[in-house]
Chain A
Amino acid sequence: MINSFFLGSIIPLVMMIVLLKKQSRIIMMFFAWGLVAFLISYYANTAIIDATGLNTAGLSVSWAPIIEEFFKALPLLYFAFFRKTHPPLFHYAMASGIGFAIQENYLYLVTNVYSLVYIVVRSVTTCLMHGMTTAMIGYGISLIDKSAKGYYYPFLFGLFTFSVIFHTLYNLYINSNAKILGLLMAPLFYLVGYLVLNDSKKVTSGGYAK
């Protein structure tokens, strides 16, 4: 079923991407990558469950955040390693995270009992969390000066650890008695992202502050 949802989404997207130009094309490519990242992560997580015997809750605070964050952020490595200058990557990275989360929503719709409230709550919590953790890596890459080799690469790994820890913390709360903390965490993080992004635009027009 998940493969059908994937193909049903990715094929029209690819057709559209072919016709798009410049920034619109890149943002949609990142969004499409999010769908691909979900499928890869889904199979990787399933393989780990089969190999280790972990349950879903156990997986969500161990391997899953590492795998998911890695695959969502993978295309950002192109900008990090092969481009001399960075465009503002926040939006591209967020598109990848949101693409991932939308595909994950499909999975939850087919495996859980359908509920409108459930899917709306998921959309303003888990979807935002996926979008923001990847956006955080993108924003960090845009923020740091690539010419400073000494701290550029340590920073990249540091940003990845940030997103993994944040994701794990969210999964921990959402699967525990402290669910409310998880539910509040993602919209709060989104608000902080919105404020930081607005502030950056004030400092420099057209890009992030260096």
Chain B
Amino acid sequence: MQYKKISAAFVCIALVWLFFSAATFFTALVEYPWLEQCANIIELIVAAVVAGLLFWQYHRSKSMLTLAVFSAILCWTLRELFWFSYVNTTNVALPYPSVGDFGFLGYYFFMAGALSQIPIRNKRGLIIPIPALIILIPGFILFQTASGPGVLILNLVFLIAIAFVSYQALEKYTKITNTMFFATLLFALNDLIFIIEVNTKDYTFLCDMLYPLSLSLLAYGTIKAGERYD
């Protein structure tokens, strides 16, 4: 219960950050490089704290669902740490694709594992159009902007991973686990924004605003769902 309360508090903090960062970004109140650096630090802190919460929750419950989501968030955190460290130690933007993108994929592999432990509840026929749209619409944008065959293949792999996990989440949606599934879909949306930004723009701030909320909501939803599936 204690971990659930802490993760709920982090959801509130992430919401405050979302409104604050959106306001400062769109009104250009603060210089962009400073804001981006701030966003990265906040992302890393939130990711590390929620990964810690899930680890302790796993330590208490020995639930595989919690372990899988903890691993997913830790993988994502390491990738974010790599990105942050690379930019700050070399003063060069991290190339895309890079080894850091392994962490991006790792998150989806662990999440696929986590969601596979929950029984199927919903009719497949109604859900199929959603992953198809996830692949087709961003896929069309990314196909036009990809700078080479390597980038194109990686984009496709990412889109398939995002679509697969979103499909799994929708297939297994129940009222009891709704927060976790909502968080999974928010994370997927966040990553779609990230892929489009990284391919078309020279900043990734829109997704940086949302990541803390996705992460903290995912931790809160997992702890809540864990109470049901432990």
Contacts and interface: CB of A to CB of B under 8 A. Distances in A.
A144 B78 contact: no
Interface string B96-133: 00111011011001101110110000000000000000
Interface stretch (A3-11, A88-96, A105-113, A159-167): A159-167
Given A151-B113, A154-B109, A162 B71 contact: yes
Contact of A169 (B74, B82, B105, B106): B82
A48 interface: no
Contacts of A181: 85
Contacts of B62: 203, 209-210
Contacts, number: 93
Nearest to A169: B82
A177 B109 CA distance: 33
Contact of A165 (B64, B100, B109): B100
A156 B81 CA distance: 22
Given A162-B106, A165-B79, A172 B85 contact: yes
Given A61-B86, A162-B74, A169-B85, A145 B113 contact: no
B67 A66 contact: no
A138 interface: no
A143 interface: yes
Contacts of B117: 148, 150-151
Contacts of A61: 86, 98-99
B210 interface: no
A178 B82 CA distance: 13
A26 to B, nearest CB: 26
Chain B contact residues, majority secondary structure = helix
B109 A158 contact: yes
Interface residues of A, number: 33
A150 B62 CA distance: 18
Given A61-B99, A178-B85, A165 B68 contact: no
A169 B110 contact: no
A45 interface: no
Nearest to B90: A176
Interface of A: 61-62, 65-66, 140, 143-145, 148, 150-152, 154-155, 157-158, 161-162, 164-166, 168-169, 172-173, 176-178, 181, 199, 203, 209-210
22 contacts: A143-B67, A148-B116, A150-B116, A151-B114, A154-B110, A154-B113, A155-B109, A155-B110, A161-B75, A162-B74, A162-B75, A162-B78, A165-B79, A168-B99, A169-B81, A169-B82, A172-B89, A173-B85, A176-B89, A176-B90, A178-B85, A203-B62
Interface of B: 59, 62, 64, 67-68, 71-72, 74-75, 78-79, 81-82, 85-86, 89-90, 98-100, 102-103, 105-106, 109-110, 112-114, 116-117
